[in-house]
Amino acid sequence: MNRNSLRVNAGLRKQEVKEANIQVAVRCRGINRRDSSKRKKESEFSVDPSRSQIKSLKEHGKTYTFDRVFGEKSTQADIFKEIVAPMLVEVLSGYNCSILAYGMTGTGKTYTMEGGDPSTVPIIVNNCPSQDAGIIPRTLIELFNSLSKFSEYSVKLSFIELYNEQPRDLLSTENNPEQIKIYDDSRKGGVVIQNLEEVLLKDAMHGINILKQGSERRRKAVTNYNARSSRSHCVFTITIHIKETTTEGEELLKVGKFNLVDLAGSENIGRSGAEDGHAKEAGSINKSLLTLGRVIDKLVSDSAHVPYRDSNLTRILQDSLGGRTKTCIIATISPSRNSYDETLSTLEYAHRAKQIKNKPEINQKLTKMVLLKEYVDQIERLKADLQAARERNGIFLTPESWRATQDEIQDLKTQSKDLQDNIKQYQKEIHELNDKIGHMELIEISNRKAVAEFQGTFLSLASGLEAAISKSKTMDLELNEAMHNQLYTFSDQAQKNLIDSQKYIDIGFDQLDKRRQEIEQLSTDQNKAYRELYDEQTRLFLGYRDANLEAQNKLNSSFENILQGLRQVLDNHFSKINACHDKVNEEMASLMTTTQSHVEAQDNTIKLLQNVLMDTITSQQKRRELFYSEITNKIKTSKTIETTTSLNREHLSALERSYELTKSHLTSLEQEPNEELKTKIESIQTGVKSHNELSITAANSVLDALTSTNDSADKTLERLGQEHSKSLGIFSNDIEKMYSDMRVPLANIQDGLQNSLIPFEEMTREKANKTQRVYDDAISYMQKARNEVNILLTEKVKSEVSRKRTNSRVPLPISATFKRQKIDNDDAISDL
Ligand SMILES: Nc1ncnc2c1ncn2[C@@H]1O[C@H](COP(=O)(O)OP(=O)(O)OP(=O)(O)O)[C@@H](O)[C@H]1O
């Protein structure tokens, strides 16, 4: 173990750098026993890891989008794989990286960074991280796995907590560890933590054990939300040195630093149940987190001054926020409905932090010489310290310690100047506030005065109002009484008016009845005249209709006669044509029979000839076979003779000769019947041919006869058609003539009808005008009568009202009853 001064951003060099936003991930744990014991199970946020979004389900709830969102199903391995492993690669390539866990108490910051409670859950199982192992143990295991490919490397770690703003070394085993000091390095820049122990790690397990021990030393307390609530911020720093050899053979040291920060809970003091000392704790936690919030705000708003110095937490995290470190914030939230406000504030906080831009820079590689020089310097400093301690020669400080003290003094001076500036600023603000209070007091005095005045006015107004109310009540009573009296009088009057109007109406009705009777009489007369006219017209119409019907019937009967004649002519034509057709068919049938019998006779002759031919061939065959057997017998005999006696050989040759002769004779015989047959067939063929020719000639002559019959039938048909169209033309001419003959008498009938209608129309028109005039008279008379009734009624009412008004003490408006009565009267008149 090595007591050292840890430079939070040591070893950086100037280089071209790109800005990069801080990465922000949100982890929402599942409901646990503490949430469910409060029966606050349902969440008011919807967590959507696939879209990296969290949405408040309250009305007008906001949706927050982050770089990554982990839901309750996300495991420790998921967080490591997606967030930590890529950052570890960056650390190994020479970057400084930080991961900060932020959230209210009990939401899983320590669980995420370290894992489950090591006293109950093992961190390592079978040399592998357990399911509950958090970021730090997983990082250590993965780091040593990755480093195994390098020949030389070193891994150091430090572990500090900030409790009530005070830094404390969690690796120190001493009872009274040397006070850790945090100061700004004015020469090299950055923040230095002095007297911090750094442990050189042998392997991952070594680191995990140190984590366990350090974690045990951490301040913890029971809160409403967490049985083992961490009450401090803590920073676990892993520093890695890797030796590299350049192509030129120079040995360089690559440095990377990984800060793993578990912040204290950002809870509300009252709700977390923190009391007494813990309330102070919570206040101090909140103070450093408030400063962290202010730092974030200033960074986001690009402010010139960022108040890193206002808390030790922000001083340590200075390089991770807006500095040259690659940073990721993991905001942890609870799904419990009870924690809605805290969750919302965490989300707001994290969302703001997302906008912070860092300028990550790779650390400068150290040469062996530089490193040696650093170690030599350190040894010299320690030697000098030892010497001074041995000699006990007053206060001895090595130049390095002196410089560190000077830096610290300088830092304190800067802090004191900052504080003085702050005090001045606060005094100015207090002064302004005092002015405002004085001003407010003046306003309050004037307000009080105004209130007193207002009260006076209000009281006098109230008493006046009360008097007015009692007066108005008396008036109301009087008025009511007068109204009742008035109402009764008016109602009597209205009754009287109604009776008068009824009388007038009765008179009007009598007169109207009279007029109605007159009109009815008129209408009866008119109806009678109409009836007479109608009867006369009906009679005329019937006469014309009968005459017309007669003419129509005549026309129809002549039409019928013509059609009858035409039908007869056509029937004659068709019977003639049918007879012709029958004759042709008959002749065709007889021709067919004749031809059939000819063909049958021919067939018989051919069959006969064939039989004769077959008989001849068979007899010929028999004769030849007979002849052959005879010859064969003769040859046999002659051969027998030849073998018995050579003397007979000559006879034999003679026989042979005779055989030859016979043979030629036979051949001639054979040819002879063929010739005969041929001649016979030829003669038969000639006979058949001549017979056929004869038949064809006969058929042709029959066909010719038939064709000529057909032609004559066609001619007859044509003639008949011509005759038919001729008779049709005559017929249509007759009809046309008949129509032209009829046209004049028809026109005369129409004219007669027209002429008879004219006087009738005139008479009707006259009668209609007369009726109209009678109606107009009646209506004007009724109008006049109604107006008269109206005037009479109005005058009567008016005179009654004016008489009433002059008689009554208080002028009153026409009562509602009277108004209604008047409306009823008007309606009755208008109905009339
Ligand atoms: N994702 C999780 N899965 C399982 N258990 C969890 C998870 N997150 C938290 N827990 C459990 O919830 C309890 C509280 O978690 P933890 O101590 O990590 O909260 P915290 O945010 O660090 O609280 P505090 O700020 O008070 O220290 C612990 O018992 C822890 O094991």
pLDDT, tens digit (0-9, with 9 covering 90-100), for 113-142: 999 887 787 888 888 899 999 999 999 999
Q: Does the pLDDT of residue 272 top 50, yes or no?
A: no
The predicted model scores a pTM of 0.50
Dist. CA 155–CA 147, nearest whole Å? 10
pLDDT at 223: 56
Find the 299 Cα to ligand 1 centroid distance in Å.
Answer: 30
Contact (Cβ atoms closer than 8 angstroms) between residue 133 and residue 110: no
Dist. CA 281–CA 297, nearest whole Å? 24
pLDDT at 260: 96
Average pLDDT over residues 188-209: 86
Q: Is the C-beta atom of 105 inside 6 A of ligand 1? A: yes
Dist. CA 501–CA 587, nearest whole Å? 117
pLDDT at 141: 95
Higher-pLDDT residue of 693, 566: 693
ipTM: 0.97
Q: Is the C-beta atom of 32 inside 6 A of ligand 1? A: yes
Q: Is the C-beta atom of 339 inside 6 A of ligand 1? A: no
Average pLDDT over residues 328-349: 90
| 90-121 pLDDT per residue, tens | 999 999 999 999 998 889 999 999 998 877 87
| 505-548 pLDDT per residue, tens | 677 677 777 777 777 777 777 777 767 777 777 777 777 678 77
Contact (Cβ atoms closer than 8 angstroms) between residue 6 and residue 192: yes
pLDDT at 100: 94
| 815-830 pLDDT per residue, tens | 455 555 556 656 655 5
Residue 642 DSSP SS3: helix
> In percent, how much of the chain has pLDDT > 70?
68
DSSP annotation string for 439-502:
HHHHHHHHHHHHHHHHHHHHHHHHHHHHHHHHHHHHHHHHHHHHHHHHHHHHHHHHHHHHHHHH
Name 211's Cβ contacts closer than 8 Å, sequence gap at least 6.
Answer: 114, 136, 137, 140, 159, 236
Phi/psi for 30 (5° steps) reads: -80, 170
Strand partners, 133: 115
Q: Is the C-beta atom of 226 inside 6 A of ligand 1? A: yes
Name 2's Cβ contacts closer than 8 Å, sequence gap at least 6.
Answer: 156, 197, 198, 199, 200
Residue with tokens 């397990």: 205
Q: Does the pLDDT of residue 814 top 50, yes or no?
A: no
pLDDT at 305: 85
Find the 110 Cα to ligand 1 centroid distance in Å.
Answer: 6
Average pLDDT over residues 372-399: 71
Find the 426 Cα to ligand 1 centroid distance in Å.
Answer: 40
Q: What is the dihedral of CA 782, 786, 792, 797, to 10 degrees?
A: 170
Rounded (to 5) percent helix, strand, coil in the chain: 65, 15, 20
Q: Is the C-beta atom of 229 inside 6 A of ligand 1? A: yes
Name 352's Cβ contacts closer than 8 Å, sequence gap at least 6.
Answer: 293, 296, 297, 300
pLDDT at 669: 54
Find the 107 Cα to ligand 1 centroid distance in Å.
Answer: 5
Residue 58 DSSP SS3: coil
| 78 pLDDT tier (thresholds 50, 70, 90) | very high
pLDDT at 10: 42
Dist. CA 66–CA 341, nearest whole Å? 19
Dist. CA 750–CA 122, nearest whole Å? 127
The region of weakest confidence among 232-236, 646-650, 700-704, 764-768 is: 646-650
Q: How many CB atoms lie within 10 A of CB 153?
A: 19
Nearest CA to ligand 1 atom 11: 108
pLDDT at 648: 54
The rounded Cα 428 to chain-centroid distance in angstroms is 61
| 11 pLDDT tier (thresholds 50, 70, 90) | very low
Q: Is the C-beta atom of 109 inside 6 A of ligand 1? A: yes
**Which of 213-222, 268-277, 817-826 shows the highest mean pLDDT?**
213-222
pLDDT at 457: 78
pLDDT at 75: 95
Higher-pLDDT residue of 185, 256: 256
| 209 pLDDT tier (thresholds 50, 70, 90) | very high
Angle of helix 204-217 versus helix 135-147 axis, rounded to 10? 160
Question: 621: which 2 tokens?
Answer: 């065959």
Find the 111 Cα to ligand 1 centroid distance in Å.
Answer: 5
Find the 113 Cα to ligand 1 centroid distance in Å.
Answer: 10
pLDDT at 331: 96
Higher-pLDDT residue of 604, 813: 604
Q: Does the pLDDT of residue 759 top 50, yes or no?
A: yes
Average pLDDT over residues 448-460: 79
Give, for ligand 1, the residue of 34, 36, 110 to mutate: max count of ligand atoms closer than 8 Å to Cβ.
110
DSSP annotation string for 363-406:
BPPEEHHHHHHHHHHHHHHHHHHHHHHHHT-SS---HHHHHHHH
Ranges of H-type helices in 117-245: 135-147, 204-217
Residue 110 assigned as binding residue? yes
Q: Does the pLDDT of residue 809 top 50, yes or no?
A: no
Q: Does the pLDDT of residue 174 top 50, yes or no?
A: yes
N residues, the chain? 832
Dist. CA 425–CA 428, nearest whole Å? 5
Q: Is the C-beta atom of 29 inside 6 A of ligand 1? A: yes
pLDDT at 642: 54
Residue 103 assigned as binding residue? yes
At CA 63, angle to CA 61 and CA 67, rounded to 5?
155
Give, for ligand 1, the residue of 111, 120, 136, 263 to mutate: max count of ligand atoms closer than 8 Å to Cβ.
111
> In percent, how much of the chain has pLDDT > 90?
16
Find the 685 Cα to ligand 1 centroid distance in Å.
Answer: 132
Q: Is the C-beta atom of 115 inside 6 A of ligand 1? A: no
Question: 293: which 2 tokens?
Answer: 């919030």
What is the β-pairing status of strands 53-56 and 63-65? antiparallel
| 280 pLDDT tier (thresholds 50, 70, 90) | low
Average pLDDT over residues 648-669: 64
Phi/psi for 163 (5° steps) reads: -115, 130
Where is 242: in which H helix or E strand?
Answer: strand 233-245
Q: Is the C-beta atom of 103 inside 6 A of ligand 1? A: yes
Q: Give the nearest ligand 1 atom to 112 CA.
A: 18
pLDDT at 12: 42
Identity of residue 417: K
What is the β-pairing status of strands 191-200 and 181-184? antiparallel
Higher-pLDDT residue of 434, 699: 434
Q: What is the dihedral of CA 509, 515, 518, 522, to 10 degrees?
A: -120
Q: Is the C-beta atom of 334 inside 6 A of ligand 1? A: no
Dist. CA 41–CA 335, nearest whole Å? 8
Dist. CA 27–CA 89, nearest whole Å? 22
What is the average pLDDT value for the chain, to the nearest integer?
A: 76
pLDDT at 493: 72
